[in-house]
């Protein structure tokens, strides 16, 4: 196997060809960076947290494939993944995950010690999430913490402390993750039942659509609270209104529980995160 073919397999392993996961992780991190810096983040902070997001998500995907290596072969959508199909060895996948995590850690070395300390729970959350599907009824909530830990880290890096607004934003991200990843889990519901994997779609059962919409509502409520704490203005709340419209659109997609439309709703969450970010940036620009 030549270098080009090997790199292609690594890209598939780390899901760099499917950037939606990066975006869902990056948007809340950017919300935090902008609010922490009161609309004027340094280019260094932006570079560190953007690249770090890409690297840690990629590392997490490699760990996920390792954790699910005996499960993915039974699911049509995942049976051709490089690790499951045997094109990449288990040891190789773990080395990819470790190297990416170490490179990510080196990025934060110019930052303060509090950010260094917070990197350790962040790495633990990212590495342990794939295994929670075996025993947590709603692993999507754990995902929300893992995907949102860049929020308190951003405040730590910019302000040297983690104020209340950071934890409110993190909690908002938890409910948002339960919403969008339940939409994703609705796609895999039949496979998860067969394989005995826990998911929020199975936990909520016939109330899954209602639960998704409730999680969007709580997310928006917490984002309103975060905006009030950070003393953001009308432009920010206008961004939340757009995000609420996007959430309402998702209801039209998932209400019939069509696999294709549920997956479309999951992917469309990129615009929910972008709407909130546009509101944050716009509010600070117009001050």
Can you give the pLDDT at residue 52? 95
| Nearest to 251, CA basis, from 287, 281, 285, 213 | 213
In the predicted model, what is the mean pLDDT of the chain? 90
Q: In CATH, what class is 3-285? A: mainly alpha
Crossing angle between the packed helical segments 20-36 and 259-285, to the nearest 10 degrees: 20
Can you give the pLDDT at residue 248? 98
Can you give the pLDDT at residue 260? 92
b/e sequence 34-67, b meaning 16+ C-beta within 10 Å? bbbbebebeeebeebbbebbbbbbbbbbbbbbbb
Can you give the pLDDT at residue 238? 98
Can you give the pLDDT at residue 192? 58
Can you give the pLDDT at residue 195? 60
Confidence band of 74 (pLDDT split at 50, 70, 90) = low
Instruction: Note the pLDDT tens digit of each residue in 77-136.
Output: 666 788 887 788 889 889 999 999 999 999 999 999 999 999 999 999 988 888 887 777
Can you give the residue ranges of every domain in the chain? 3-285
- The token duo for 283 is 């509010």
pLDDT > 70 in the chain, percent: 93
Question: Considering only 36-45, 67-76, 202-211, which range has the smallest mean pLDDT?
Answer: 67-76
Q: Does residue 70 or residue 245 have the better pLDDT?
A: 245
Is residue 116 helix, strand or coil? helix
For 123-130, the CB contacts below 8 A with 24+ separation are: 123/56, 125/149, 126/56, 126/59, 126/60, 126/63, 126/101, 127/59, 127/60, 127/63, 127/97, 127/101, 129/60, 129/64, 130/60, 130/63, 130/64, 130/66, 130/67, 130/68
Task: Output the pTM of the full model.
Answer: 0.92
d(C-alpha 30, C-alpha 257), whole Å: 32
Can you give the pLDDT at residue 23? 95
d(C-alpha 99, C-alpha 154), whole Å: 22
């Amino acid at each position: 196997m030549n270098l080009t073919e090997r790199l292609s397999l690594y890209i598939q392993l780390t899901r760099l060809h499917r950037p939606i996961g990066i975006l869902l992780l990056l948007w809340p991190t950017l919300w935090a960076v902008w609010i922490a810096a009161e609309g004027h983040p340094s280019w260094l902070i932006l570079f560190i947290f953007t690249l770090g997001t890409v690297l840690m998500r990629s590392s997490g995907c490699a760990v996920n494939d390792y954790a699910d290596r005996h499960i993915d072969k039974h699911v049509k959508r995942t049976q051709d993944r490089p690790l499951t199909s045997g094109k990449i060895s288990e040891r190789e996948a773990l080395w990819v995950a470790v190297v990416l995590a170490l490179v990510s850690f080196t990025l934060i070395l110019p930052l303060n010690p509090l950010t260094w300390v917070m990197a350790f729970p962040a790495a633990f959350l990212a590495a342990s999430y794939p295994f929670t599907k075996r025993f947590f009824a709603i692993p999507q909530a754990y995902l929300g913490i893992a995907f949102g830990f860049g929020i308190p880290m951003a405040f730590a890096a910019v302000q040297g402390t983690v104020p209340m607004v950071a934890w409110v934003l993190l909690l908002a991200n938890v409910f948002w993750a339960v919403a969008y990843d339940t939409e994703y889990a609705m796609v895999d519901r039949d496979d998860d039942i067969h394989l005995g994997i826990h998911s929020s779609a199975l936990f909520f059962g016939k109330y899954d659509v209602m639960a998704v919409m409730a999680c969007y509502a709580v997310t928006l409520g917490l984002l309103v609270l975060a905006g009030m704490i950070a003393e953001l203005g009308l432009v920010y709340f206008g961004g939340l209104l757009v995000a609420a419209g996007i959430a309402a659109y998702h209801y039209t997609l998932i209400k019939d529980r069509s696999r294709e439309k549920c997956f479309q709703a999951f992917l469309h969450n990129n615009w929910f995160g972008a709407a909130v970010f546009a509101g944050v940036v716009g509010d600070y620009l117009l001050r």
